[in-house]
Amino acid sequence: MADKMELYHIHKHNNYDKLWKPYREITVSENFKSIMSKRYNDFTTSMIIEEDQNKILLNFHDYLLTLLSSKTQINRQEFQKILQIAYQTSYFSNMFKRETALENYRKNNFNFLPSRLHSIYLTDEKGVSYWIDALDAKDYDLCRVEVTGNIFKTNEQLLPDETLSYKDAYENSFNYWHPNFKKVPDNTNEYLVNGKIKILEKIKKRLLNNYEQAIFSIFYS
């Protein structure tokens, strides 16, 4: 671990925008809620459906049971909605399992390291291009920052595979919290930080054009 470094942050717009201004200093404590924390804590298998102009909260599997027991044929729009919700439920269920395994392993074995749920994620110069692509960052600022505090370097390639059982994901979490950098490429490194982050400059700004905004709104709104 290091206690002072210059690193880079890919700030996706609409996430803590007020914080990411040049020369500002961000304090990241153990109570800081990262984007990962928000995804983790907001995870649910419930969904809202509209029935007779009323909104009803249902568990996804109850919704499927209702459809399966109904003799009404499912139309294309309804089928696409089911597939979309099933994909999201599967994706975030695996993410929730993986992050639970990682956090529990950290607490039990490396509790002096910063939590993925309460850190800001950074990268070094070699990782900038990779992480812009990996994060699918369409609308972002690339910030060069000075970091002091509890800085933990690891690598995305060492995360437990999301298809693993919880037990296996927990055991494989050792690789992430005790990284062997000889086994992974150096452009996929990530840094978890608790401490102070000073924004030195915005190096690059990327805004969605009108066409991209329209496509983004179709798939992500």
CA distance 181 to 155: 8
Instruction: Residue 143: name the closest of 60, 63, 26, 28 by CA.
Output: 26
* pTM greater than 0.85: no
What's the rounded Cα separation, in Å, for the pair 152 and 119? 10
CA-wise closest residue to 101 among 118, 117, 120: 117
Q: Is residue 205 over pLDDT 70?
A: no
* Burial class of 57 by CB neighbour count within 10 A (0 to 12, 13 to 18, 19+): exposed
- Tell me which residue of 146, 153, 144 sits closest to 114, measured CA to CA: 153
Which stretch of DSSP H or E encloses residue 182?
Answer: none
pLDDT digits (tens, 9 = 90+) for 62-97: 777 777 777 677 778 877 877 887 887 888 888 899
Q: What's the number of CA atoms in the CB half-sphere (13 Å) around residue 1?
A: 17
Q: In this predicted model, what pLDDT tens digit does every residue of 116-136 receive, in sequence order?
A: 999 999 999 999 999 988 888
Distance CA 141, CA 200 (A): 13
